[in-house]
Amino acid sequence: MPQADWQRTVWCGEVSEEMAGRNVTINGWVQRVRDHGSLVFVDVRDRTGVVQVTCDAARAPEAFAQARELRSEYVVSVRGTVRRRAPDAVNPKMKTGAVEIEPSRVLVLSAAKTPPFYIEENVDADELVRLRYRYLDLRRPDMQRNLVLRHRFVKAVRDWFDAHGFYEIETPMLTRSTPEGARDFLVPSRLQPGSFYALPQSPQLFKQLLMVAGLERYVQIVRCFRDEDLRADRQPEFTQIDVEMSFVTAEDVMTQIEDMIATALRAVGKDVTTPFPRLDFATAMARYGSDKPDLRFGLPIVDVTGIAAQTEFGVFREAVARGGVVRAIVVPPGAALSRKDLDGLAEEARSRGAKGLAWLAFEADGLRGPVAKFVGGAAAALQERLEAPAGSVAVFVADEEAVAAEALGHLRLVLGRRLNLTKDAGDALLWVTDFPMFEWNAHEGRWEARHHPFTSPVEEDLPLLETDPARVRAQAYDLVWNGVEIGGGSIRIHRRDVQERVFRCLGFTKEEAQAKFGFLLDAFEYGVPPHGGIAFGLDRLVMMVAGAESIREVIAFPKTARGGDPLTGAPAPVDPRQLEELGLRVEAGGPAARAAGRGRNGTA
């Protein structure tokens, strides 16, 4: 095809001093126009950057006249000669700041209305407006950088998987309800009125079937859908890096996958060291009060239950007598906690269910604080156990174990922020392993799978399935980065009998299990390799690499917190004829309130 005479010969951001004297054509958007009388400066932007076009009334009257008509965001083609700027006109802040283009022709390809916000870095516009005019928002360099970063990261991920023998295989979007524990998005079937597809919450069962099918190594960068009330960093549709492998142990998955993550991070300029440390769930909860501990800093939680029981402090003694624990965090000297700070920390602890917070200051000449007089002879043992240096302050929670862990885990993060321990602390990636298989849902009075029902229990815990589900450990692992869970997976059950026992534990009758997951159970009768996998939330990963505040900053067309798209107006009512075709009727008074609530579907 012949080149049209307005088409670019060079990108705006790539015009350089070496091109001085050359005739070029640029295409792009008008960033701004500065009219200095007989001189008009036009900055033209494309995705590579900005270059200045300098129009002189005397030297090129026609182009000058054309340039004066330009407005911001007009789409133009400018032909002209590259020249070096006079030394006093060089702009060192601009990549192309040493050059400019003297135009021979300025052509408007498309005019533009005044945009609702400036097309520039760090724009201070309301997010709804940004989303309503997303095509303008995405013109901004920071948004373009994020999308390019996302592309590079995904490319590196795909390259790694390709080099390691994985096949990318698509799985259906219109499918049956899948068991990740959230509410499904449903799609009515026109051809089978009254029946519905569900959009996949993850390709979990399909990727397992691909293992039964002998594909051995599967990956998919895949859109998943979960109809949840959106918390700050969730989207109803999001992207996973979804992986499954055959004939592997948990160890194999972790070793390979950490190489993948480290390689992809390096490809976008983030150097992390492998192997990542491992921490079992019980230790993570005891030491850091979290199953996704932020290990960029220390401040470990220390158990002092035994020593606390020997003090005269009623709160400690009672908690221990009731079977609870006493645990503490030592705040290092120099933190200069005031009474008011300590009251604030107590408030934080209460917000996580603790009844209160006790504190002790370890001074060079003894203990200080309201509890000090009750500690008596236990002071030395306490200080030793806590490894508390002079000048430090220990904060204590005495409560049920789970409450103490949660409250102190929260305080640890609050203190980490307050003491600025995460700043310049580098990156901390780790695996958390050996999760409990089940979680008690007190509300519904039944066990739920903590990961999902296809996760394999640790072999030696199988007998506990019928006797003590609380103690069954799962062959599950999460990858945690700076206190954020970025991925999680497990070795799967590959035996029909074990799968049926787990379903039974979760309260499914044999018939219910067969009705919902019969296709998987049936497949398990035709030769199943031991298999396991993992999935990563891609949006969050890219957000963290980009240093962005929200996943919406790394998604081209995200939804608002209410699941809406201000650009297209989705979701929207549909034509009554469409409903009729589907055999559906919308009841007056809005969505059926009675329909809310998680059924058995959402087991895991």
Query: In angstroms, rounded to a whole number, what is the distance separating the alpha carbons of residues 521 and 194?
Result: 26
Nearer to ligand ASP, 358 or 493 (CB): 493
Q: Report the alpha-carbon distance of residue 329 to residue 332 in Å, rounded.
A: 9
Quote the least distance from Cβ 533 to ligand ASP, whole Å.
4
Of residues 358 and 474, the one with the C-beta less far from ligand ASP? 474
Min CB(234)–ligand ASP separation in Å: 13
Q: Which is nearer to ligand ASP, 14 or 259 (CB)?
A: 259
User: What whole-number distance in Å separates Cα of residue 547 and Cα of residue 542?
Assistant: 8
| Residue 435 C-beta: closest distance to ligand ASP, Å | 12
Element of type H or E holding 519: helix 510-523
User: Which residues contact ligand ASP by CB under 6 A?
Assistant: 180, 202, 204, 488-490, 533-535
CB of 267 to ligand ASP, least distance (A): 23
Q: What are phi and psi of 83, to 5 degrees?
A: -145, 155
Cβ 343 to ligand ASP, closest distance in Å? 40
Q: Is 359 or 431 the residue whose CB approaches ligand ASP more closely?
A: 431
Cα gap 202→489, rounded to integer Å:
12
Q: Quick one: 383 or 490, whose CB is closer to ligand ASP?
A: 490
As measured in angstroms, the least distance from the Cβ of 487 to ligand ASP is 8
> Which residue, 77 or 204, has its beta carbon nearer to ligand ASP?
204
The two tokens of residue 15 are: 């015009």
- Residue nearer to ligand ASP on the CB measure, 15 or 535: 535
Q: Strand pairing of 217-225 and 167-168? A: parallel
Query: By C-beta, is 202 or 235 nearer to ligand ASP?
Result: 202
State how far the Cα of 540 lies from the Cα of 467, in Å rounded to an integer: 39
The DSSP H or E segment spanning 197 is: strand 196-198
Q: Report how far apart, in Å, the C-alpha atoms of 275 and of each of 12, 150, 165, 428, 487 are.
A: 43, 24, 21, 11, 16
Instruction: Give the nearest distance from C-beta 551 to ligand ASP in angstroms.
Output: 16
Give yes or no for a contact between 497 and 201, defined as CB atoms under 8 angstroms apart.
no
d(CA 456, CA 476) in angstroms, rounded, equals 8
User: Rounded CA gap, 342 and 328, in Å?
Assistant: 14
480 vs 535, beta carbon nearer ligand ASP: 535
Residue 311 beta carbon to ligand ASP: minimum distance, rounded to whole angstroms: 45
Least Å from the CB of residue 225 to ligand ASP: 11
Closest CA to 108 of 55, 54, 57, 67: 67
Q: How far apart are CB 479 and ligand ASP at their closest, in Å?
A: 11
Handedness of CA 60, 65, 66, 69 (dihedral sign): positive
CA atoms of 330 and 310, how far apart (whole Å): 20
| Three-state secondary structure string covering 396-434 | EEEECHHHHHHHHHHHHHHHHHHCCCCCCCCCCEEEEEC
Shortest distance in whole angstroms from residue 531 CB to ligand ASP:
10
Distance separating alpha carbons of residues 378 and 494, to the nearest angstrom: 53
Give the gyration radius of the chain's Cα atoms: 31
Query: CB–CB of 173/421 below 8 Å?
Result: no
> Side-chain half-sphere of 153: how many Cα atoms within 13 Å?
26
Rounded to the nearest 5 percent, the helix, strand and coil shares of the chain are 35, 25, 40
DSSP strand E in 299-370: where? 301-303, 325-331, 358-363, 366-368
Measured CA to CA, the distance from residue 138 to residue 132 in angstroms comes to: 11
Q: Which is nearer to ligand ASP, 28 or 489 (CB)?
A: 489
Residue number, 184 or 399, with CB nearest to ligand ASP: 184
Q: Which is nearer to ligand ASP, 205 or 279 (CB)?
A: 205
At 578, give phi and psi (nearest 5°): -65, -40
Backbone CA torsion sign across 587, 592, 594, 599? positive
Closest distance to ligand ASP from the beta carbon of 538 (Å): 12
CB of 207 to ligand ASP, least distance (A): 7
- Is residue 557 a contact partner of residue 239, using CB atoms and an 8 Å limit? no
Taking the C-alpha atoms of residue 393 and residue 358, their distance in angstroms, rounded to an integer, is 10
Q: What is the token pair recorded at 515?
A: 């009705």
Q: Which is nearer to ligand ASP, 324 or 533 (CB)?
A: 533
Query: In this complex, which beta carbon is closest to ligand ASP, that of residue 204 or of residue 311?
Result: 204
Question: Nearest approach, Cβ of 309 to ligand ASP (angstroms)?
Answer: 41
C-beta of 311 vs 475, nearer to ligand ASP? 475
Q: How many CB atoms are closer than 10 A to CB 504?
A: 14
CB of 553 to ligand ASP, least distance (A): 23
